[in-house]
Amino acid sequence: QLAGLAVIAFGLWLRFGGVMADFASDKRSPEYFFMGLYVLVGTGALMTTVGFFGCCGAARESQCLIGSFFACLLVIFAAEVTAGVFAFIGKKVAIQEAQKIYEDIYDDYMKNPVGKVNSTIYRYHSALQCCGKGNTEQQMGLPCPENIQ
């Protein structure tokens, strides 16, 4: 149950706090980023429920609750394997999507280097520990965090 609550807290922290919160609230954020955060919170709720079945089943020595606990563990294990396979397969698409979002923000910044775009590109640089697109000439004038080359 505690692990489930920790996963819920982590998912909510990613959505509403921390470095990634601005990416989640940005209009350019991909839809799957929102889905991923809500799936993380849902998974935490499921883990908490399964932990409750296991705890109550063990305390009452109920075969029904222990059986429910076992069945839920099997479903969760199958879902984890499936999610791992899909994440591995979709890794290139996720990287390309993140690069496209950065390209769009970078182009917006070059057109108008003040305002919200400035803070968005700065947050990208801080979260990813990078600055610019690799060309040192392009990095001139970009809002880069300290000690990042």
Domain locations in the chain as residue ranges: 1-90
**Which distant-in-sequence residues (6+ apart) come within 8 Å of 33 by Cβ?**
23, 24
Alpha-helical (H) ranges within the chain are: 2-16, 21-25, 31-60, 63-89, 91-111, 116-128, 136-139
- Give the angle 23-144-136 at the CA atoms, nearest 5°: 120
Q: Which residue has the higher pLDDT, 98 or 66?
A: 66
List Cα–Cα distances, 123 to 43, 62, 102, in angstroms: 28, 51, 11
What band does 42 get if pLDDT is binned at 50, 70 and 90? confident
Amino acid 18: pLDDT: 63
Give how far the C-alpha of residue 53 lies from the chain's centroid of Cα atoms, to the nearest Å: 28
What band does 46 get if pLDDT is binned at 50, 70 and 90? confident
Q: What is the pLDDT of residues 126-138, one digit of tens each?
A: 777 777 776 655 5
Q: Tell me 1's DSSP state.
A: -
Amino acid 75: pLDDT: 86
Amino acid 20: pLDDT: 63
Amino acid 38: pLDDT: 81
Q: Which residue has the higher pLDDT, 139 or 70?
A: 70
Rounded to two decimals, the pTM is 0.58
Residues constituting the chain: 149
